[in-house]
Amino acid sequence: MSFGVMKEIKPGEERVGLTPAGAADLARGGCSVLIETGAGERAGFADELYLAAGADIVSREHAWAAHTVVKVKEPIAAEYGYLRDDLTLFTYLHLAADRPLTEALLDAGTLGIAYETVADATGLPLLQPMSEIAGRLAAHAAATHLMRPGGGPGLLLGGSPGVAPARVVVIGGGAVGTQAALLALGMQAEVTVLDMSPARIRQLDALLDGRARVLMSDAATVEAEIAHADVVIGAVLVPGRAAPKVVRREQLSLLRPGALLIDVAIDQGGAFETSRATTYDEPIFEVDGVRHYCVANMPGAVPQTSTRALTNATLPYVRRIAQLGVEQAIERDPALALGVNTRAGRIVHQGVADAFPDLATTAHPGAREPVLAER
């Protein structure tokens, strides 16, 4: 079986889908590992390291021709032409927020397995490591963009002795929200975390141990909290689905002058009504005078850290695909099965089907299996 890994071409994306250690693991198992020239360079992995691991260094086309492609980011439009019906694509997909990609995968008949919907008893094992990193980066972004050189009002996140710190409100206290809160607290900000899961509220309350306010999220509480915030971090998730909107456009007028919205949940469409995805090239835009930071691939900025964390999480699944073949791997592993979003021209994830009901019930060229609605 062959595995292809290409250089990521999404702006600001410097991670790579597999470390040399991961490549060595697959090569030892008898797989052919096809790495595009220079794919890992920006993550600190030169081609020589992959060669020493037993991989081949190949052209982009050759890497995409593998049985299974192991990527980081969802294919962007320039990559849609590589999709085909005998390809297994294992990567972040975020389809509920990406109709063009959903259509491209359906039209090509590609088996699309999304990292972010792989789910086991512990949660979302392939989303969690990048969420942890994005959460920490959200605190960095808050600190940077509250400063004048970062376009902010000129606040130091942690204040100073005798001067109040900035107020950070985190909506959604999962992997992203927890790490954002912990790092903001580490920088001595005043932090409030909101979540709507009673169980999660109790865990956060115990973890944060009085250092942050932990509140049940409802529309009135969100409105009251954002009115006093210098930074609002959107970190909600309902797995596989379009993100719930927790701040509406008319509420922007409640915010303090200079307040910053950081929408980490933008990859699922965003937690704020006014969000749209940005990249590191131009991370911030304004709506009604309020700055929005909406980088959809935040961990791409720290590729040395995040590539290792990603392969640590994905390798057991990639190895299983290598050992069993993708069909058997999906059949035997319910966690991996939950990652399957598109297959043979059909949507097979309910969250994506609900986002695009017309696509979920329409026959596509590569279709060979019953649609969800027929099951």
Binding-site residues for substrate, please? 15, 73
Nearer to Mg ion, 74 or 225 (CB): 74
* Distance (Å) of CA 298 to CA 82, 167, 176, 262: 25, 22, 11, 11
> 25 is in the binding site of which of Mg ion, ligand CC(=O)C(=O)O, ligand NAI, none (Cβ under 5 to 8 A by kind)?
none
Nearer to ligand NAI, 3 or 272 (CB): 272
Residue ranges binding ligand CC(=O)C(=O)O (CB under 6 A): 73, 92, 116, 127, 130, 267, 297, 299
Q: Answer for the pair 142, 231: CB distance below 8 angstroms, yes or no.
A: yes
d(C-alpha 167, C-alpha 186), whole Å: 13
267 in active site:
yes
Q: Map the footprint of ligand NAI across residues 262-291, applying CB under 6 A.
A: 264-268
Which residue number places its CB atom closest to ligand NAI?
174
Work out how close the CB of 38 gets to ligand NAI at its nearest, in angstroms, rounded to a whole number. 23
94 in active site:
yes
* 224 contacts: CB under 8 Å, gap ≥ 6: none
Of 67, 94, 292, 349, which one is the catalytic site residue?
A: 94
> 264 is in the binding site of which of Mg ion, ligand NAI, ligand CC(=O)C(=O)O, none (Cβ under 5 to 8 A by kind)?
ligand NAI
Nearer to ligand CC(=O)C(=O)O, 35 or 130 (CB): 130
Residue type, 31: C
Q: Does 175 bind ligand NAI (CB under 6 A)?
A: yes
Q: Answer for the pair 70, 90: CB distance below 8 angstroms, yes or no.
A: yes
Q: Does 196 bind ligand NAI (CB under 6 A)?
A: yes
Work out how close the CB of 305 gets to ligand NAI at its nearest, in angstroms, rounded to a whole number. 13
Work out how close the CB of 115 gets to ligand CC(=O)C(=O)O at its nearest, in angstroms, rounded to a whole number. 7
Sign of CA dihedral 87, 90, 95, 100: negative
Q: Does 339 bind ligand NAI (CB under 6 A)?
A: no
Of 98, 230, 263, 267, which one is the catalytic site residue?
A: 267
Which residue number places its CB atom closest to Mg ion?
98
Which residue number places its CB atom closest to ligand CC(=O)C(=O)O?
130
Residue ranges binding Mg ion (CB under 5 A): 74, 94, 98
Nearer to Mg ion, 14 or 74 (CB): 74
Virtual CA dihedral for 190, 195, 199, 200, nearest 10 degrees?
Answer: -60
Work out how close the CB of 92 gets to Mg ion at its nearest, in angstroms, rounded to a whole number. 8
Structure tokens given for 146:
């509250």
Q: Does 297 bind ligand NAI (CB under 6 A)?
A: yes
Q: Map the footprint of ligand NAI across residues 201-260, applying CB under 6 A.
A: 217, 235-238, 243-244, 246
d(C-alpha 352, C-alpha 113), whole Å: 12
> 98 is in the binding site of which of ligand CC(=O)C(=O)O, Mg ion, ligand NAI, none (Cβ under 5 to 8 A by kind)?
Mg ion
Work out how close the CB of 267 gets to Mg ion at its nearest, in angstroms, rounded to a whole number. 6
- Residue recorded with tokens 């972010």: 116
Q: Does 353 bind ligand NAI (CB under 6 A)?
A: no
* Strand partners of residue 347: 342
Name the site residues for ligand NAI (rule: CB under 6 A).
116, 124, 127-128, 130-131, 134, 171-177, 194-197, 200, 217, 235-238, 243-244, 246, 264-268, 295-299
Catalytic residues: 94, 267
